[in-house]
């Protein structure tokens, strides 16, 4: 199961960054198979870290995993042409995954891979409004 899709990648990275990475010789169409392969490889790498602490596949995919999956996939697409910024983001994603694996950072799901239940939600109770548009005069 991929943590991010082609749509997620296109939402996070400009077309002028992705186009040269997905270019096919003598064709105007991008190589979407290459993009999907990078997303699959990035998801497999993420799974290798998450499997130490969580039951896979996750029932709910937190947004932070989508972000890191796109970051790793973009780095894979860049291959040896990766900029310093892409390399730094890749290293930060790996450091975050190591922290998740070691239990230092929660990923946003419980160990069974489901979103935690929120039973202790705050409840607010107050008196009726004192001031309003239709209320005239003093209290």
- Give domain status of residue 71, yes or no: yes
pTM of the model: 0.78
Q: Tell me how far CA of residue 79 lies from CA of 3, 62, 73, 83, 86, in angstroms.
A: 20, 27, 10, 10, 10
- Other CB atoms within 10 Å distance of the CB of residue 7: 8
The whole-number pLDDT of residue 96 equals: 97
- Give domain status of residue 75, yes or no: yes
pLDDT, tens digit, 9 for 90 and up, residues 43-90: 999 999 999 998 899 888 999 999 999 999 999 999 889 999 999 999
Do residues 34 and 74 lie in contact, with contact meaning Cβ atoms separated by under 8 Å?
A: no
Q: Is 78 helix (H, G, I), strand (E, B) or coil?
A: helix
Q: pLDDT-derived band of residue 128, with 50, 70 and 90 as boundaries?
A: confident
- Give domain status of residue 107, yes or no: no
**Full domain range(s) for residue 98:** 6-102
pLDDT, tens digit, 9 for 90 and up, residues 15-55: 999 999 999 888 888 889 999 999 999 999 999 999 999 88
Show the DSSP H helices in 6-115 as ranges. Answer: 6-12, 15-21, 32-50, 63-78, 84-102
């Amino acid at each position: 199961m991929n943590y991010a899709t082609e749509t997620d990648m296109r939402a996070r990275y400009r077309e002028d960054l992705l186009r040269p990475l997905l270019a096919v010789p003598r064709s105007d169409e991008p190589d979407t198979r290459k993009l999907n392969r990078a997303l699959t490889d990035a998801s497999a790498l993420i799974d290798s870290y998450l499997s130490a602490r969580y039951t896979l596949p996750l029932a709910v995919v937190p947004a932070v995993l989508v972000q890191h999956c796109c970051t790793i996939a973009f780095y894979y697409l860049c291959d040896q042409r990766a900029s310093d910024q892409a390399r730094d983001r890749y290293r930060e994603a790996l450091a975050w995954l190591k922290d998740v694996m070691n239990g230092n950072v929660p990923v946003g799901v419980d160990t069974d891979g489901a979103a935690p239940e929120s039973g202790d939600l705050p409840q607010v109770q107050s008196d009726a409004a004192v001031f309003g548009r239709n209320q005239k005069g003093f209290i």
